[in-house]
Chains A and B, each alone.
Chain A
């Protein structure tokens, strides 16, 4: 209404308010985008199932975004590398051996490996396990890779 009444001296105020609104919008968008970048990084660094404590802090839209990203990634991984697909989130560092020595940092309960035996992961116990089974647990901070 101030613009309609032709008071040109208030054009400045309108412009000022517009600047402030744009600024707020920019800050919000950058914040939300940064959150998405971190959530995306979680898929690569933590795994496809996020712990409850983190999910609690995500909004519903972010959870949905994460699920859709997971699905896109899985579709892509299936399409690459032949019949079974290629898990790109494994072997991020070049592997030196099939089996690795790991130490348990926290109680995690029972863990089953491919030949059917179960291993009890108690704090500070050490095991010699196949690399592909442990990689995710190491990244999640449950096991620790021990170099001999």
Chain B
């Protein structure tokens, strides 16, 4: 229980943590965009064209990962302009306001909340209120779902939780695991196992994996 490995956690809000593995995975998610000018030789890089001299014509639609969108985006929008993925748009917002608990957030992109916060980085000057309502909506979705997450994490002990966890995105899963850990620790203490010295999970994993032996 006294674990010593503390990985770098995801960033909060609009900033990512550079060294956070969660943020790296999250920024790999794709988002739809539009090429604002002809982009020479990009076609072969994105796998769309055959010849190396082909350029992606102006105005064509692209799906690019977030890290690339952040790097190529500037306020004058000379190269790339991005739009909100459909999950963050009007249609889905009505679904969320109807009943937020039903939505399978893992399928919508496992980093719904983190990605949504990152989208605020792209100033879309024509839609400031979408950004506003977007953050409000994410927040309300979160509030609605949080209660159920907290409740289920504190009350399922030693059960198979995969059905519950399948519909949560990564942030919610982290919260769920924290709740479960607290519950498990408490149960351990109640059983009197709190003073039992245990082999750490790192050690147990090394034991299970058959690492190659060194000769000589």
Binding site for B on A (CB under 8 A): 9-10, 12-13, 15-16, 18-20, 22-23, 26-27, 29-30, 33-34, 37-38, 40-46, 51-54, 56-57, 92-96, 100, 134-135, 138-141, 144-145, 147
Contact = CB atoms under 8 A, between A and B. Distances in A.
B12 to A, nearest CB: 18
Given A40-B5, A134-B197, 17 more contacts: A12-B79, A13-B39, A13-B40, A29-B19, A30-B8, A37-B7, A46-B202, A52-B214, A53-B213, A54-B206, A92-B197, A93-B195, A138-B197, A138-B198, A139-B198, A139-B200, A140-B203
Interface residues of B, number: 43
B184 to A, nearest CB: 15
- Which A-B residue pairs are the 8 nearest by beta carbons? A19-B71, A45-B200, A41-B5, A44-B4, A41-B4, A141-B199, A53-B211, A92-B2
A140 B203 CA distance: 6
A147 B37 CA distance: 71
Contacts, number: 123
Most buried by A among B3, B21, B199: B199
Contacts of B203: 45-46, 139-141
A13 B46 CA distance: 13
B42 interface: yes
A2 to B, nearest CB: 10
A10 B123 CA distance: 25
Chain B contact residues: over half helix, strand or loop, or mixed?
A: loop
24 contacts: A10-B40, A12-B72, A13-B40, A16-B45, A16-B72, A19-B68, A26-B24, A30-B21, A37-B7, A38-B202, A41-B200, A43-B4, A45-B203, A52-B213, A56-B211, A93-B1, A93-B2, A93-B197, A138-B197, A138-B199, A139-B197, A139-B198, A141-B204, A144-B199
